[in-house]
Amino acid sequence: MSKFQPIEFYKNKKNEYSLLPFRFEPLSEVNYAVTNLVGEHLIIPRETLEDFVKHKLDSSSPHYINLRAKHFLVDDKTQIAKELLSIKLKTKYRVLSEFTGLHIFVVSLRCEHSCPYCQVSRQSDDKIKFDMSTDIADKSIDLALRSPSKNIKIEFQGGEPLLNFPLIKYIVNAAKSKQKEKNLSFVIATNLALITEEILLFCKQHGILISTSLDGPKDIHNLNRPRPGGNSYEKAVEGIQMVRAHLGIDAVSALMTTTKNSLGRVKEIIDEYLKFSFTGIFLRPLSPYGFALKTKTYSAYDANKWHDFYLEGLEYIIDLNKTGVKFREYYTSTILTKIFTSQEPGYVDLMSPSGIGIGAIVYNYDGLVYASDESRMLAEMGDTSFELGNVLTNSYEDIFLNPKLLDPIEESFAFSVPMCNDCAFETYCGADPVFHHAIYKDFVGRKPESEFCNRNMKIFKYLIERMDSEPYIKRLFMSWAQSNA
Amino acid sequence: MEANLIFDANIYSIDAIKKACYRNINRFAVNISKEEDTINCNITFKNTVTESQIKIYLDDFMKEVLDQDLRESIKKETEGVRNLILAHTFSKTGLIKDE
């Protein structure tokens, strides 16, 4: 008896197979991307797709074998696919039952910077008016610790949160004293202009991480971020070095904001990140909220210009990797994690059901609770559509069962949104009701006209085609997916 | 600028046509009507759209109708197994209750 089955064994002589649920989108005149419920993908010609759906695909063709291997069909050789899909899907949605993991505390709205695109800040010395009180902090901590999530991350934001550092100390100590079985972690999102040895000693003692802003070379950063003395860049760089000296090289991460000043200079911006030994960059689009919209900086460039900026940056990063420099683009990594793994990276904008409230929540300095950071930015512009309550007067149930949270989550769930429900990239994408409400005044928007949809659709198609074009890129992208998981 | 396209109602469903129209909502407006064996699409373009763009848009629209027809076939065949997989996925979450 032979050790292996003969090749005939693997042939499905009658071409009898059943389709498993899948969706498709055209990539070009010839090729189509097909994806299944858990995000497995293939590229096949339109002709093959039609043959496949009409049960005319030969079981010995390479396309058939790939479609079977990736759980797009079941035949008499494979019946386990349904169970495997269930398990992978269960893993993907596991994050839903964990509920809110990220709790943002806006400890002060005051800031010594006056960035034109900044969503929320006040140049003021009025601590009473713009700083969070200990009463509000206590109530917010209680709400945060009511979350079913075992892992609770508290992120301090502003304004500039270091302007109210005594309250940060108070919250860290108070949360730790009440944490019981929860795992707590803390992050301060700061421009680092006010960082001191004393603050860093406290951070070291409590394992607090730092998230800062670095918009690129000195001229771009200082143009984006005016402050008295015009030295925001110098302060940030000095601060990054101080944090690393006290807390270690990985204790500080940086975020960049794209403005019209950044366009055409993506390589210089990436070089700046390399200069300071960061291992990746998040090429963020400018958000359409707050002063960014009011001061017209949002309309200063359109989605296509950002797309060119992003692609030029991504290709530059790929080239860097080819020369042995390990560096990633984080938005791409988040998408790749969704493409290649059953893990949900938890990036609020790319979650469906939307991550507002259930992925992250904001406790504002004045006690008001918002469904996301972007929601409080909208509120600063007078739109309180996502204001969920007040920590001083509302219960956990009032806040998390507020129709202002549940309605947008339900309405924007991509599984049931026109066009999203049959889009091949739905499993990679998100709902983002706050963005659509801000721009189109409804939680869903018309997807063919949605900047969010167009931007992401172009990226998904580009990444899938790019991987198909070069084995090296596929290996690289798979490594980015794993390290982000 | 206007154009008319006629589809055979024995081959294409109204839903497939409607979905194809929706996907092109950023390019033109459509009035759909049905007679016995035909589905008529009266398409209106903005004045700024050129003749060559109209040709591309109509070609794309017809391809999209074919794609939507294919999507209907997939959905019809896989609906049962899709629901089964989803039921298994959420079976232990307590989120699905017996009616």
Percent of chain B topping pLDDT 70:
89
Best residue of B85, B90, B92, B93 to probe chain A, by most A CBs closer than 10 Å:
B85
Locate the chain A residue with the closest alpha carbon to B15: A418
Using a CB–CB cutoff of 8 Å, tell me whether A69 touches chain B. Answer: no
- The answer on pLDDT for B92 being more than 90 is no
- The answer on pLDDT for A380 being more than 90 is no
- The answer on pLDDT for B68 being more than 50 is yes
Best residue of B57, B75, B89 to probe chain A, by most A CBs closer than 10 Å:
B89
Give me the residues of A, 439-478, that contact B with CB < 8 A: 446, 448-449
Closest approach of B69 to chain A, Cα-based (Å): 10
Q: Which residues of A touch B22 (CB under 8 A)?
A: 418-419, 448
- The answer on pLDDT for B83 being more than 90 is no
Q: What are A361-371's pLDDT values in tens digits?
A: 999 999 999 99
CA A418 to chain centre: 23
- The answer on pLDDT for A298 being more than 80 is no
- The answer on pLDDT for A292 being more than 70 is no
Q: Which residues of A touch B65 (CB under 8 A)?
A: none
Report pLDDT for A360. 93
Residue range A18-33: average pLDDT?
95
Question: Predicted confidence band at A20 (pLDDT cuts at 50, 70, 90)?
Answer: very high
Report pLDDT for A301. 57
- Contact across the interface for A53 and B90, Cβ inside 8 Å: no
CA dist A309 and A8 (Å) reads 52
Report pLDDT for B95. 52
- In this complex, which of B25, B74, B90 lies closest to A449 when CB atoms are compared? B25
- The answer on pLDDT for B96 being more than 90 is no
Residue range A71-89: average pLDDT?
86
In order of A237, A258, A378, B48, the CA distances from A224 in angstroms are: 15, 9, 21, 37
Question: Predicted confidence band at A484 (pLDDT cuts at 50, 70, 90)?
Answer: very low
- Contact across the interface for B85 and A21, Cβ inside 8 Å: yes
- The answer on pLDDT for A13 being more than 70 is no
Best residue of B66, B81, B90 to probe chain A, by most A CBs closer than 10 Å:
B81
Report pLDDT for B99. 46
CA dist A296 and A361 (Å) reads 28
Residue range A428-455: average pLDDT?
91
DSSP, residue by residue, chain B? -EEEEEEETTTS-HHHHHHHHHHTTTTEEEEEEE-SSEEEEEEEE-TT--HHHHHHHHHHHHHHHHHHHHHHHHHHHHHHHHHHHHHHHTTTTS-----
Reported ipTM: 0.86
CA B99 to chain centre: 32
Report pLDDT for B85. 80
Q: By the 8 A CB rule, do B32 and B40 touch?
A: yes
Q: What are A176-219's pLDDT values in tens digits?
A: 999 999 999 999 999 999 999 999 999 999 999 999 999 999 99
Q: What are A303-348's pLDDT values in tens digits?
A: 788 899 999 999 999 999 999 999 999 999 999 999 999 888 888 8
Q: Average pLDDT, whole number, for chain B? A: 90
- Contact across the interface for B26 and A446, Cβ inside 8 Å: yes
Name the pTM for this structure. Answer: 0.90
| Sequence ranges of the domains in chain A | 18-92, 98-323+353-402, 406-484
∠ CA A232-A235-A241, rounded to 5°:
140
Question: Predicted confidence band at A485 (pLDDT cuts at 50, 70, 90)?
Answer: very low
Question: Predicted confidence band at B91 (pLDDT cuts at 50, 70, 90)?
Answer: low
- Contact across the interface for A86 and B67, Cβ inside 8 Å: no
- In this complex, which of B25, B74, B84 lies closest to A19 when CB atoms are compared? B74
Residue range A67-87: average pLDDT?
88
Q: Which residues of B touch A22 (CB under 8 A)?
A: 74, 78
Closest approach of A332 to chain B, Cα-based (Å): 26
- The answer on pLDDT for B2 being more than 80 is yes
Ordered by where they begin, the domains of chain B are 2-86 (3.30.70.60)
What is the CATH number assigned to the segment(s) A98-323+353-402?
Answer: 3.20.20.70
- The answer on pLDDT for A238 being more than 50 is yes
- The answer on pLDDT for A296 being more than 60 is no
Locate the chain B residue with the closest alpha carbon to A84: B85
Q: Which residues of A touch B25 (CB under 8 A)?
A: 446, 448-449
Using a CB–CB cutoff of 8 Å, tell me whether A22 touches chain B. Answer: yes
Using a CB–CB cutoff of 8 Å, tell me whether A50 touches chain B. Answer: yes
Query: Mapped to the 3 state alphabet, what secondary structure does chain A carry?
Result: CCCCCCHHHHCCCCCCEEECCEEEEECCCCEEEEEECCCCEEEEEHHHHHHHHCCCCCCCCHHHHHHHHCCCEEECCECCHHHHHHHHHHHHHHHHHHCCCEEEEECECECCCCCCCCCCCECCCCHHHHECCHHHHHHHHHHHHHCCCCEEEEEEECCCHHHHHHHHHHHHHHHHHHCCCCEEEEEEECCCCCCCHHHHHHHHHHCCEEEEECCCCHHHHHHHCCCCCCCHHHHHHHHHHHHHHHHCHHHEEEECCCCCCCCCCHHHHHHHHHHCCCCEECCCCCCCCHHHHHCCCCCCCCHHHHHHHHHHHHHHHHHHHHCCCCCEEHHHHHHHHHHHCCCCCCCHHHCCCCCECCCEEEECCCCEEECCHHHHHHHHCCCCCCEEEECCCCCHHHHHCCHHHHHHHHHHCHHHCCCHHHCCCCCCCCCCHHHHHHHHCCCCCCHHHCHHHHHHHHHHHHHHHHHHHCHHHHHHHHHHHHHHC
Q: By the 8 A CB rule, do A484 and A339 touch?
A: no
Percent of chain A topping pLDDT 70:
93
Closest approach of B8 to chain A, Cα-based (Å): 19
Using a CB–CB cutoff of 8 Å, tell me whether A226 touches chain B. Answer: no
- The answer on pLDDT for A8 being more than 90 is no
* Residue B39 or residue A289, greater confidence: B39
Q: Which residues of B touch A23 (CB under 8 A)?
A: 71, 74
Closest approach of B89 to chain A, Cα-based (Å): 5
Report pLDDT for B50. 95
CA dist A146 and A152 (Å) reads 10
Q: By the 8 A CB rule, do A375 and A362 touch?
A: yes
Residue range A73-96: average pLDDT?
84
- In this complex, which of B22, B67, B78 lies closest to A21 when CB atoms are compared? B78
Report pLDDT for A416. 86
Closest approach of A400 to chain B, Cα-based (Å): 16
